[in-house]
Structure 1
C-alpha cells in the first residue's frame, strides 16, 4: 500500500547517476550489459581537496576567511561537476554577513566539506532530476506531504518503531570572541562580545531524569569572529541546534521508497499518539 499524497510533489524525477563500470556478459544466444552507477554524493566523497602542483604559490588547501558565503563556497566546490541552484534562502546560506571562516585540510573530501557547511544553515541540499544541485530552506509546513499511517492494514513496514529522543548537544552557544579592531592601528575599537544560544528542553529533561543532579545540558560552543549582533549569534545557534535535532530520529519507521519521495520533502507519520 503506497503512501497517500496530498498536493503535488516537489519533483518526481530522480537525481542523475554516472556510469562507473559496464561489465559485459556474453553467453551463446545472449549478450547482457550491466551498468554499475554512482550518484553525485559518492562521486564527491571520492574527490579530495589537493594543492595545485603546477602553481608554486598555491596554498595546501583552500581557505575562506569570512569573505565568501556558504552558497558561493559550495558553488566553487562543484565547479565542472554540477550547477548549484538556490531555491529558497534561510537568511544564512547566501548572506555575506554570515560568511564563515573555514579552512580545509589536505585530503578532505568535498562531500565532507559541503556537509559541514550546510549544517550551519537551516537549508537542505540535494541533487535533482534536472541535473543540478539544489539548496532550499527546510519547510516549516508543507501542502505537499507524504502520509504514512501505521494503523493502515497492509502497509509494508520493514521494521518497527524505536525511540531515540535525546539530542546532543542540547544547548548551542554562539559567541564572537574577537573585538572589532581599527584597520590602521589594530587597536580595539569595540569590546562588545556578541552571543546567542538555543536549547532543546526535552533533551535536557530526559538527561536530568536519567542522571540525578545533572544540569541536563550538553553544550556546544561555536566561535564566529564575523558575528555583528546578538541576533546573528542567536540565528547561528538556532540553526546548529536544529541540525542536531534533525540528525536524531525520535521515531524510526522504515518503509518502501516512494518513487517521487526525496530528501527535503515533508513527511507525516500517523501513529496512535499522533496526531
Structure 2
C-alpha cells in the first residue's frame, strides 16, 4: 500500500514547484524507480495538466521526453523566472501590515526574497528590510542601538520585544478597568479608583468631570510636595554612562521643544556632568506627539 497520495495538479492556482517537490518525496517514500517517475507523474497529474503538457511538447508526445524535460517545460510556462530587479523593488517596498505579527512579516520577506538573487547577502538584506519595515518605532530604535547586529539576533530581539509588549498590554487590560462620569470624562486603572473615592465623599459637582474637587483636575503638570525622593542602588554598584543615540533630523526641533517644556515645568534640570546616563527613546504617540522615555 503506497505511503501518502499524489493528487492531481491544479493548473489555475497550483504551484508547480511545490507540486514536484511533493511528488518526488512520494516517489522516494514509495521506492518508485527513477525510470517510472515520468509515467507515474503523467498518470497522477490529471486531464487538464496533461492537456497542457501535450500542447507544450507538440508535435512530440510527452512520453518521448525525459522526466526532467517535462518538469522544466511546465515550470517555464507556469512560472517564468521574474526579473530580479523587479523582485527587489517589491521587496524594498514591503512593510509590516497592521495586525501582522513580526513572525508573519519575516515569513513574507523570506518568500519575496526567493527571486531577488541576494545570494550570500540574503541575511543582510532580510535584516535591513525587517528593521526598515517594522511598525513599532520603539523596536526599530532598539535594533538601531545594537552594534554588529546580525539577522538572527535582530529577529530574536524584535520578536521578544513584540511578545513583551503584548504581555504587558494583556496584564494592563486585566488589572485596569474603565469609569466614565456623566460629564463625559473617562478614567482608567488607579485614576478611576481615585475618582471613585472622591465621588464617594462628594455628591456635588463643580464642573464637567471635576466631581467637587477641581484642584485635582487643574491644567498643567502636578507636583509631589510630600518630601524628598531618594534613589537607592546596591552597595558597590558601578555607574553606567550610555552615550546618546543619534536623533533623526526631522525630530530634532520637536525634541528640543519637549526638553524645553520639561525644563520650564521643573521636570528636569541641566547638569555639567553625571556618573549615570541613559539614552532617550523617542516614541510617537497616537496624537502624533512625542513621548520621551529612557531605554
Q: Give the TM-score band, short-chain normalised.
A: under 0.3
Q: Which protein has greater RCO, CA pairs closer than 8 Å, 6+ apart? A: 1
Report the structure, 1 or 2, having the larger strand content: 1
TM-score (normalizing by structure 1): 0.23
TM-score (norm 2): 0.22
